[in-house]
């Protein structure tokens, strides 16, 4: 899933591509991808897009009349910058927005899950962003890490958008590896020094990710976005720090990758899928 670095860099590129230009029209290409009915999308047609920003994993299109369009790509949503605009309706197409400078943005989805969505919200309405926690790089989140007695596994906490916005499965693996913390540790059980390591790792890993994402051109089109992770998706590969094999814990929808020597004092965490097979 695209996370904060992908979405931040994408928002910056979109701002450069279509910021300052009027939206001339839109083509709804996928059923049920528009999550709001009022104000209607027509309320921003003909209006100038003043700025493209980001909040959590949402791209935020701000219009001169105060209305905003929010876009969430979810797991497999992608965005193509079309210059000039195309008339095609590719498989998985969600919506195409057309701008006066002969650039269009096509949102589409890989696979069959239809989870990418967009919202049109009035001034003062944050829509689905209202329940987001603080930004990952904010002082507010650093304070939470220093003071919280949250008992959940830190891997779960980092991915909970209500607790902290912008981090997903990929960067949470890399952050905890960088911090040398077990994915099963909790803030409740962490020493002050471990908490500082976590804060520093969040900043370092996301800054590295952002630097890399800012080299990307155009939209966010590629199917696979995560080849650059340090440990995420790389179980069985030698740890880049100590050389031991990276291990994983598998869940229905995702897996957690970690290095036993660097993160868990050598302990291999129970893999629920594996133990189910053994039974
Ligand atoms: Zn290691």
Encode pLDDT of 240-262 as tens digits: 999 999 999 998 888 999 999 99
pLDDT at 279 over 90: no
Cβ atoms within 10 Å of 188's Cβ, excluding its own: 11
* DSSP state at residue 187: G
Closest CA to 116 of 31, 211, 219: 31
Q: How far is the CA of 194 from the centre of ligand 1 (A)?
A: 17
What is this structure's pTM? 0.94
Residues with Cβ < 8 Å from 208, sequence gap 6 or more? none
pLDDT at 42 over 70: yes
pLDDT at 170 over 60: yes
d(CA 33, CA 14): 20
Q: How far is the CA of 188 from the centre of ligand 1 (A)?
A: 24
Q: How far is the CA of 212 from the centre of ligand 1 (A)?
A: 23
Q: Give 23's strand partners.
A: 99
Encode pLDDT of 13-23 as tens digits: 999 999 999 99
Q: How far is the CA of 252 from the centre of ligand 1 (A)?
A: 25
Q: How far is the CA of 197 from the centre of ligand 1 (A)?
A: 16
Q: How far is the CA of 96 from the centre of ligand 1 (A)?
A: 45
Encode pLDDT of 180-199 as tens digits: 999 999 999 999 999 999 99
């Amino acid at each position: 899933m695209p996370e904060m670095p992908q979405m931040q860099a994408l928002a910056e590129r979109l701002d450069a591509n279509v910021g300052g230009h009027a939206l001339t029209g839109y083509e709804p290409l996928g059923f049920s991808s528009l999550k709001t009915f009022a104000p209607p999308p027509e309320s921003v047609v003909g209006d100038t897009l003043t700025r493209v920003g980001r909040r959590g994993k949402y791209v935020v299109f701000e219009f001169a009349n105060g209305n905003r369009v929010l876009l969430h790509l979810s797991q497999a949503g992608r965005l193509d910058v079309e210059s000039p605009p195309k008339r095609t309706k590719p498989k998985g197409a969600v919506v195409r927005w057309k701008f006066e400078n002969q650039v269009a943005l096509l949102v589409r989805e890989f696979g069959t899950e239809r989870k990418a969505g967009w919202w049109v919200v009035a001034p003062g309405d944050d829509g689905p962003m209202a329940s987001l926690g603080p930004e990952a790089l904010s002082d507010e989140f650093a304070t939470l890490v220093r003071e919280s007695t949250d008992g959940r596994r830190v891997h779960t906490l980092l991915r909970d958008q209500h607790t902290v916005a912008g981090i997903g499965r990929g960067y949470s693996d890399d952050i905890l590896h960088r911090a040398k913390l077990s994915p099963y540790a909790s803030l409740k059980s962490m020493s002050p020094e471990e908490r500082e390591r976590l804060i520093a790792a969040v900043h370092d890993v996301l800054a590295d990710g952002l630097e890399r994402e800012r080299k990307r051109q155009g939209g966010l089109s590629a199917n696979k976005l995560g080849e650059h992770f340090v440990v995420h998706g790389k179980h069985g590969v030698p740890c880049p720090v100590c050389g031991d094999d990276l291990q994983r814990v598998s869940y229905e929808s995702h897996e957690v990758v970690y290095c036993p020597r660097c993160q868990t004092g050598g302990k291999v965490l129970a893999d629920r899928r594996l133990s189910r097979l053994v039974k």
